[in-house]
């Protein structure tokens, strides 16, 4: 009887020892994974982007934690082959039950492989424009310029046209300007070139582009395109419009507002207008 009791106590001690080892592996694995995942982002491997560094950090962390979890389960006496088989069956069942999530997951993998944008880029998706703050397996998180949080499913990102506004170091600002028909177009072009040349935010290369868009209802429509560094784009666009208005006013160049002219059959003859005051009529 004493021998049986001692055997049970030994088994309990061994079991507690195994549980302690398993807990130690999990706790130690967590700290090791945390340390290594923080360590890898300190090194710029092959000039990785912020997106790539985040993916590498997550991969290191979860990879180490999975290995430690499997080691802990083995210490507790679990048969890993059975667990892996059950996990595979469960994964198939979950996949059939959540086809939308599976589609987003596959789309997320394609996004990570293609890398059309990275964390920190400014993108436009349909009517939403903002900064990318997270790229996950199921969705992309965007912070708009009015500080709203927008979650876009990865499947929508694949199917929708996405514009990356900060992909290249410079951007072109297309300025729409209208002048009266009586104005000298050559003089206006020279004045616009002078304004762009004096503005330090406007790049000289590529050179500004002057395009006559056509004859509008009340103005000659012009597009004047200038280039700026992407961080100066909005500032230059605001400044240059103000400078154009001031220069046009100073040089007597008219910026017409929309108006309508009425004729009574002859192009040069205006319509006669009569004003009646009581019984008298003046013309």
Nearest to 106 by CA among 78, 65, 138, 134: 138
- CA atoms within 13 A of residue 262's CA, in its CB half-sphere: 4
Using DSSP, how many helices (H) and how many strands (E) does the chain show? 7, 10
Whichever domain contains 204, its CATH number is 3.30.70.100
CATH number of the domain to which 157 belongs? 2.30.30.60
Is 76 domain-assigned?
yes
Long-range contacts of 185-192 (CB under 8 A, 24+ apart): 185/212, 185/220, 185/222, 187/251, 187/253, 188/222, 188/253, 191/247, 191/248, 191/251, 191/253, 192/224, 192/244
| Residue 265 DSSP class | S
Structural domain for 230, as ranges: 170-250
- Does residue 271 fall inside a structural domain? no
Residue 121 lies in a domain: yes
Verify that 10 and 90 share a domain, yes or no. Answer: yes
- Whether 280 is covered by a domain: the verdict is no
Whether 10 maps to a domain, the answer reads yes
Q: What is the pLDDT along the chain (283 residues), one digit of tens a residue?
A: 554 554 545 445 546 666 677 777 778 878 887 877 777 666 655 456 666 666 677 777 777 888 777 777 776 666 656 556 656 655 665 555 456 666 777 887 788 778 888 888 999 998 899 999 988 878 899 999 999 999 999 888 888 899 999 889 999 999 999 999 999 999 999 999 999 999 999 998 899 999 999 998 889 999 999 999 988 998 999 999 999 999 999 999 998 877 666 666 665 566 667 776 655 544 4
Asked, for residue 262, whether it belongs to a domain, the answer is: no
Same domain assignment for residues 47 and 12: yes
Residue 260 forms part of a structural domain: no
Handedness of CA 163, 166, 171, 172 (dihedral sign): positive
For the chain, the domain total comes to 3
With a CB cutoff of 8 Å and minimum separation 6, the contacts of 115 are 49, 51, 52
State pTM to two decimals: 0.58
Instruction: Identify whether 109 is part of a domain.
Output: no
Same domain, 29 and 64: yes
Instruction: Judge if 19 and 65 occupy the same domain.
Output: yes
């Amino acid at each position: 009887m004493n021998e049986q009791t001692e055997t049970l106590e030994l088994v309990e001690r061994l079991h507690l020892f195994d549980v302690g080892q398993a807990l130690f592996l999990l706790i130690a694995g967590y700290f090791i994974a945390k340390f290594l995942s923080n360590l890898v982002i300190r090194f710029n491997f092959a000039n990785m982007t912020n997106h790539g560094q985040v993916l590498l950090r997550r991969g290191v962390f979860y990879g180490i934690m999975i290995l430690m979890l499997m080691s802990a389960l083995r210490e507790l006496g679990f048969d890993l082959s059975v667990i892996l088989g059950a996990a595979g069956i469960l994964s198939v069942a979950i996949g059939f039950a959540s086809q939308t999530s599976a589609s987003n997951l596959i789309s997320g993998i394609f996004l990570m492989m293609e890398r059309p944008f990275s964390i920190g880029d400014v993108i436009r998706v349909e009517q939403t424009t903002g900064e990318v703050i997270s790229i996950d397996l199921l969705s992309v998180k965007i912070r708009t310029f009015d500080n709203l949080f927008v979650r876009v499913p990865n499947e929508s990102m694949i199917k929708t046209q996405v514009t990356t506004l900060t992909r290249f170091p410079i951007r072109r600002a297309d300025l729409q300007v209208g002048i009266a028909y009586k104005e000298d177009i050559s003089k206006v072009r020279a004045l616009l070139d002078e304004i762009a040349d004096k503005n330090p935010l406007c790049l000289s290369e590529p050179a500004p582009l002057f395009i006559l868009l056509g004859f509008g209802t009340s103005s000659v429509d012009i597009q004047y395109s200038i280039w700026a560094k992407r961080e100066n784009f909005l500032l230059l666009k605001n400044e240059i419009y103000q400078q154009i208005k001031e220069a046009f006013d100073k040089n007597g160049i008219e910026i017409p507002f929309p108006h309508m002219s009425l004729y009574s059959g002859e192009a040069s003859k205006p319509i006669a207008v009569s004003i009646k005051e009581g019984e008298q009529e003046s013309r």
